[in-house]
């Protein structure tokens, strides 16, 4: 009996000592939570930078559209100015033909010298000079107008090119920020898993500690009871008082589920009308910034807005406004909008879309490139 009691005490003592060197998982939980908080702060800062950048991209898109429209207007003004210059030049040649009798050079002199008196002679000479001056001034005026419009067009095109370069830089920054945010978010998810695991182990450690204390107390009580029996010289039947302790530690599993559903309802006839409108421009119009001229030129959002208008739906002009005003869906249907930062297109089904792709390229059918599908 005595050796059993000694063994129980030894066992409890050994178990207690082993717990003294067990990693303290509670401290690990605190450390992991601190890491998560720091990482979440980084994500919040990156998201703030991304929001600011998206606002800049939206403003830049508006400016690009405006500049494209100004270039288109400058081109129209240039055509008119050149036409006026050509018309004035033709009129001048006609007057010269009549005045000089197809280039003989004697008609004006004859008119001057056969005018009669000196007053008529001077009047005729003055008239001829005025005609020359008028023609020269008009030609100089139209030439100056043509040059002015050409200079304006060149300035606008340079501005547009600078804006496009800035847009490309912004989109590169946006991609980098999105990638970093994704990486940091993955770190947070990993930290959540580590926190959950550390919390589970901490709970197990606490349960084991309490079980060890209970076993030690039971062993000590057992030992004291045996000592009393020996001191009194009394003997008892050989029976063992067994204390059974059932220690269980359960890890409470947490489950979370998220569902995104619903979204905007889809109207097949409306979607088909949008797709038909998009098909009507394939190969019949080219990409041009700021343009919205059917069967001639569109930019990407100009094409999408026009196609929706043909189906009786009014949508915003810029890609950022389209995203914020529409409904993001996960079940794309023909007529929905394929949205990526700074670009939109019409989804036609089968993993394909119709888009105004880039400068000078005709409206075309492409494989889908998409961040979100948007429905109105």
**pLDDT digits 0-9 by tens, 46-67:** 878 878 877 787 787 788 888 8
Confidence at residue 228, expressed as pLDDT on a 0 to 100 scale = 56
Whole-number pLDDT of residue 133:
73
Query: In CATH terms, are 2-227 and 268-375 the same topology?
Result: no
Residues 6+ apart with CB under 8 A from 60: 163, 166, 167, 170
Q: Quick one: pLDDT at residue 196?
A: 75
Given this model, what pLDDT does residue 257 score? 32
**Residues in the chain with pLDDT values less than 50:** 1-6, 9, 14-15, 18-22, 101-105, 232-262
Distance separating alpha carbons of residues 300 and 287, to the nearest angstrom: 7
Distance from CA of residue 373 to its chain's centroid? Answer: 12
Phi, psi of 238 (to 5 degrees): -70, 90
Contact indicator for 218, 243 with CB cutoff of 8 Å: yes
What tens digit of pLDDT does each residue of 193-241 get? Answer: 777 777 776 776 777 777 777 777 777 777 776 655 555 444 444 433 3
Instruction: Give the C-alpha separation, 325 to 200, whole Å.
Output: 45
Task: Give domain 2-227's CATH superfamily.
Answer: Methyl-accepting chemotaxis protein (1.10.287.950)
Residue 192: what pLDDT?
A: 77
Please say whether the beta carbons of 363 and 283 come within 8 A.
Answer: yes
CA-CA distances (angstroms) from residue 207 to 31, 118, 155, 213, 249?
21, 131, 77, 10, 6
Domains of the chain: which residue ranges?
Answer: 2-227, 268-375
| Class of the CATH-defined domain 268-375 | alpha beta
């Amino acid at each position: 009996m005595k050796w059993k009691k000694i063994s129980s005490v030894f066992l409890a003592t050994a178990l207690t000592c082993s717990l003294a060197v067990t990693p303290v998982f509670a401290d690990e939980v605190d450390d992991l939570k601190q890491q998560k908080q720091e990482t979440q702060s980084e994500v919040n800062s990156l998201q703030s930078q991304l929001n600011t950048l998206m606002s800049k991209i939206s403003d830049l898109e508006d400016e690009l559209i405006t500049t494209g429209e100004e270039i288109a207007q400058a081109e129209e003004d240039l055509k008119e100015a050149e036409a006026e210059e050509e018309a004035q030049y033709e009129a001048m040649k006609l007057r010269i033909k009549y005045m000089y009798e197809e280039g003989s050079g004697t008609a004006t002199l004859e008119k001057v010298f056969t005018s009669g008196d000196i007053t008529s002679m001077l009047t005729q000479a003055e008239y001829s000079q005025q005609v020359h001056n008028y023609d020269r001034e008009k030609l100089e005026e139209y030439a100056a107008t043509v040059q002015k419009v050409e200079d304006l067009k060149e300035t606008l095109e340079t501005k547009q090119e600078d804006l496009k370069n800035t847009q490309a830089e912004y989109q590169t920054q946006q991609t980098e920020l999105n990638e970093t945010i994704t990486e940091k978010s993955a770190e947070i998810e990993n930290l959540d898993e580590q926190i959950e695991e550390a919390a589970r182990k901490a709970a197990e450690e606490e349960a084991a500690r309490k079980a060890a204390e209970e076993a030690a107390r039971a062993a000590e009580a057992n030992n004291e009871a045996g000592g009393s029996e020996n001191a009194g010289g009394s003997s008892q039947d050989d029976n063992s008082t067994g204390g059974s302790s059932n220690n269980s530690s359960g890890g409470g599993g947490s489950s979370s589920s998220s569902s995104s559903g619903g979204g905007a309802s889809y109207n097949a006839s409306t979607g088909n009308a949008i797709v038909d409108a998009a098909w009507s421009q394939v190969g019949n119009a080219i990409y041009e910034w700021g343009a919205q001229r059917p069967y001639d030129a569109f930019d990407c959002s100009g094409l999408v807005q026009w196609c929706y208008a043909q189906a009786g739906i009014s949508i915003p002009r810029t890609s950022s406004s389209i995203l914020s005003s529409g409904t993001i869906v996960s079940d794309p249907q023909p007529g929905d909008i394929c949205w990526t930062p700074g670009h939109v297109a019409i989804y036609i089904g089968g993993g394909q879309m119709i888009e105004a792709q880039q400068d000078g390229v005709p409206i075309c059918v492409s494989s889908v490139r998409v961040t979100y599908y948007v429905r109105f």
